[in-house]
A and B are shown apart, each in its own frame.
Chain A
Amino acid sequence: MNAIVTVDHLRVEFATDGGTVVGVEDVSFTIAPGETLCVVGESGSGKSVTSLSLMRLVEFGGGTITAGALNFVRTDGSTLDVAAASPQVMGGVRGNEIGMIFQEPMTALNPVFTVERQLTDGLMLHKGISQQAASARALDLLKSVRIPEPERRLRQYPHELSGGMRQRVVIAMAMACEPKLLIADEPTTALDVTIQAEILALINRLKREKGMAVLFITHDMAVVAQMADRVVVMYRGRIVETGTVQQIFEHPREDYTKALLAAVPKLGEMKGKPAPERMRLIGDDAARAAQIAPKPRKPELLLQVKNLTTRFPVKGGILRRTVAQVHAVEDVSFALNVGETLALVGESGCGKSSCGRSILRLVEPTSGEVWIGGRDIGALNHHDLRRARADMQMVFQDPFASLNPYRRLKAQVAEPIQNFGLAHGAELEARVLQLFDRVRLPRDYMNRFPHELSGGQRQRVAIARALALNPKLIIADEAVSALDVSVQAQVLNLMMELQDDLGLSYLFISHDMAVVERVAHHVGVMYLGRIVEIGPRAAIFDSPTHPYTKSLLSAVPIADPNKRRFADDLTFKPISSPIYPLGYQPAPSTYSQVAPGHYVLQA
């Protein structure tokens, strides 16, 4: 089979204030028609630079292709070296012979143009066809990406579409001129898991039908296993390993690939295991993780949430009066024992974060009770609440935003202790040192500023800060979602280790089912503000009962190329809106018990 793309010893440099930085170096690969090549790597590996170079878009980000050739076989059969092509020639290739799908569908679409305008612009430019012909083709395209009610969608603006539909429009745009090569740069990273499944299935079908070559950039090994024919593993701007998807997953040759694969949790691998288990890591961490077996604990109740409801007002009209309410958390009840982890899972907007924040009263719940240590948090006054919060701390998702960029790490970790005057001077210093040791950060990091640390290190600082007051409960709101997979595994292991040593309880808020399966004792599945199913981890994963839990689990990609699930088109029920008119009183959540401790919301 003749390759359609041959990348040969590509080198891209970026000029910065601090001198020249090499983005990628010595990168070579080929892609054949009808083949999906996945380029996988962690942040900073150069995977996006590679894809942008193929479009010659890298120049707009300040990069320069300084060596190598990027040969692309054009529609007319001639070969074009993209690295040397003139801007005019590239203008005819981009969007015409090479299509591109971007990560964030909202920013990839221009909010002031209708869907029709976005689709027809490229067609009229590249194909020189009339407005009518272009509109007809746009409709065909929307049908081919299976958007419901395509005629109506043409006249809509991007904000009127759901996230999944937007990404379908972006794909339709990329497909408009029937490109020979489709570049997809993290096309599903910003999407919920059910929408991701739909989009992956769609890309697979289009590739099959049109015989396109697909260059698929991702950081997610599970997505790679589901999509790739061949895989290129990148690390720090270089190719580590290239091979077929089977080779890479079953017989990885390089240590880096092995470590990367080991760190990926696979959905279903915890079947039959009673307790959470450490993530597999290669090297020292692995040895340490293996040594420690979780201590058995007597069940002892720590946190009890009863009928928690949080609603946010929707303001409207000239007088900014409340016209409706978002029912973010609706009649949620659960209990959490000392030293255990309850995971709240669900898709964006399901209310899992609001639930965590309502427990801490970072947002005021509308009604309900939160009992911890014999006190109802909801009934506390301002002064007592401040004291009570010392028992419950939070770790946030974005490690870049959760630390103050202007303060030294030492000061940020010491702050909670100072707030309650628990230690001063040398004693305070010693406490902070201890905390840094506890989260395995070098002591000399104490005097650094947040920007000098990597994402994983910052998250360790955030954990150290949360531990400063010896809390009983830590609410981890997507605490590892923004981290690279190997770093994620290390931070998860640290969290599990702290749980064993200190008897911490976690309310683990996450969208990642594979991670949850690994760390949780109990799982609650949230949908439209309610818990639709809750129970022991094994019960939820082995015998999901609620239809939503089932569809959620069926949409999770599995990091195993022999278990492919996205061959045919998939459509999941779109999540409806949790906005209700004022005064609307929803029915209380009533549950039926399907097994001991396993409850399902009654419809």
Chain B
Amino acid sequence: MKRFLTTKGLIGIILLTVIGLIAIIGPMVIPAEAGTAMDMTARRSPPSLKHLFGTDQLGRDLLIRVILGARTSLQIAVSAVVMSIVLGLPLGLISGYFGGRIDNVLMRLVDTLLAFPALLLALTISAVLGPNVQNTIIAIGVAFTPFLARIIRGEALRVAQMPYVEAARSSGTTDSMIMVRHVLPNILPAVIVQGTISLAFAILAEAGLSFLGLGTQPPAASWGLMIQASRDQLDIAPWTALVPGLAVARTVLGLNMFGDVLRDILDPRSK
């Protein structure tokens, strides 16, 4: 565990811990009503002592909303990315390892999904299933799967041609064991990198869905929803975009740093 204690690793862990704690504890101490309480006398007020992060167009306190939004945003983003990995990993692994006809069939399937913009796909799924948190997760998870499957397939294809895979095959290791023992550990770094990048996009995708009325339902708060709401007042109240924007940026930064260090630690060569 000592190897997490690099500067990068520490910053990553601290950022993620703080954000995680806020997301978990925030809604426990702050009543949900506080997030929707409007102060019509202080609409779009810039950061002040009374409202540390300022208020939005309805006079709601941004600090409270960004804390309450953390749980929604992170819950949806993390679950959706986990789901896309769970779906995309076996798909890409099998496709890349076996190649040939299996690869052709699976990848044409993935290409079909890729042909639609991810957001449009999520939109369709969400519209069919109905807007709630669980369906938003499914929508984003499915929409992100083809990207992951493609990247994992490419990696699996590369690893499947390595001599150590041939050596394993010629010494009687079965295909499933080769995939688990040899291919999977070698493609994990790519999965980690792609996973952390996907998380950032998932937060934004949730915003897009919410904006179109298919994700988080107002007046509940999510970071994405807050960014979307700020779009027509950027010139007069830039902090309304900046506050949730910084929250997203900080999370992504923490994830990327943590992901980098995690990847290094999993690589025995970096010892």
Residues of A whose CB lies within 8 Å of any CB of B are 360, 362, 386-387, 389-390, 392-394, 396-398, 401-407, 412, 415-416, 419-420, 449, 451, 462, 465-466, 468-469
User: Contact between A362 and B169 (Cβ–Cβ < 8 Å)?
Assistant: yes
User: Contact between B170 and A392 (Cβ–Cβ < 8 Å)?
Assistant: yes
A-B interface, 5 closest residue pairs, ranked by CB to CB distance from nearest: A416-B171, A406-B185, A449-B268, A402-B163, A419-B172
* CB of B115 closer than 8 Å to a CB of A: no
User: Contact between A360 and B164 (Cβ–Cβ < 8 Å)?
Assistant: no
Q: How far is the CA of A398 from the CA of B164 in the complex (A)?
A: 10
Q: How far is the CA of A405 from the CA of B182 in the complex (A)?
A: 9
Mask, B149-172, CB within 8 Å of A = 1, is 000000000000011101111111
Q: How far is the CA of A397 from the CA of B164 in the complex (A)?
A: 11
- Interface hub of B173, B185, B268, B269 (most chain A Cβ within 10 A): B268
User: Contact between A401 and B163 (Cβ–Cβ < 8 Å)?
Assistant: yes
* CB of B231 closer than 8 Å to a CB of A: no
Q: How far is the CA of A394 from the CA of B165 in the complex (A)?
A: 12
B263 nearest CB across to chain A (Å): 12
A331 nearest CB across to chain B (Å): 24
Q: How large is the interface on B (under 10, 10 to 19, 20 to 34, 35 or more residues)?
A: 20 to 34
* CB of B134 closer than 8 Å to a CB of A: no
A-B contact pairs, 20 of them (CB 8 A): A362-B166, A386-B174, A387-B172, A393-B171, A394-B170, A396-B166, A401-B164, A402-B167, A404-B181, A404-B185, A405-B186, A406-B266, A407-B185, A415-B171, A415-B181, A416-B172, A449-B268, A449-B271, A466-B167, A469-B171
User: Contact between B163 and A405 (Cβ–Cβ < 8 Å)?
Assistant: no
Q: How far is the CA of A415 from the CA of B177 in the complex (A)?
A: 10
Given contacts A407-B181, A407-B185, A451-B268, contact A360 B167 (CB under 8 A): no
A365 nearest CB across to chain B (Å): 15
User: Contact between A419 and B171 (Cβ–Cβ < 8 Å)?
Assistant: yes
Residues of B whose CB lies within 8 Å of any CB of A are 162-164, 166-174, 177, 181-182, 185-186, 266-269, 271
B145 nearest CB across to chain A (Å): 25
A98 nearest CB across to chain B (Å): 36
User: Contact between A362 and B181 (Cβ–Cβ < 8 Å)?
Assistant: no
* CB closest residue in chain B, given A401: B163
* CB closest residue in chain B, given A394: B170
Q: Which chain B residues lie closer than 8 Å to A397 at the CB level?
A: 163
- Interface hub of A392, A397, A406, A407 (most chain B Cβ within 10 A): A406
Q: Which chain A residues lie closer than 8 Å to B173 at the CB level?
A: 415-416, 419
User: Contact between B171 and A449 (Cβ–Cβ < 8 Å)?
Assistant: no
Q: Which chain A residues lie closer than 8 Å to B166 at the CB level?
A: 362, 394, 396
Q: How far is the CA of A387 from the CA of B182 in the complex (A)?
A: 21
Contact among B164, B171, B172, B185 for A403, CB-based, below 8 A? B164
User: Contact between A386 and B164 (Cβ–Cβ < 8 Å)?
Assistant: no
- Interface hub of B164, B170, B185 (most chain A Cβ within 10 A): B170
Q: Which chain A residues lie closer than 8 Å to B266 at the CB level?
A: 406
Q: Which chain B residues lie closer than 8 Å to A362 at the CB level?
A: 166, 169-170
* CB closest residue in chain A, given B104: A320
Can you name 7 extra interface pairs (CB under 8 A) apart from A389-B170, A401-B162, A404-B162?
A: A389-B171, A394-B167, A394-B170, A407-B181, A415-B168, A419-B172, A449-B269
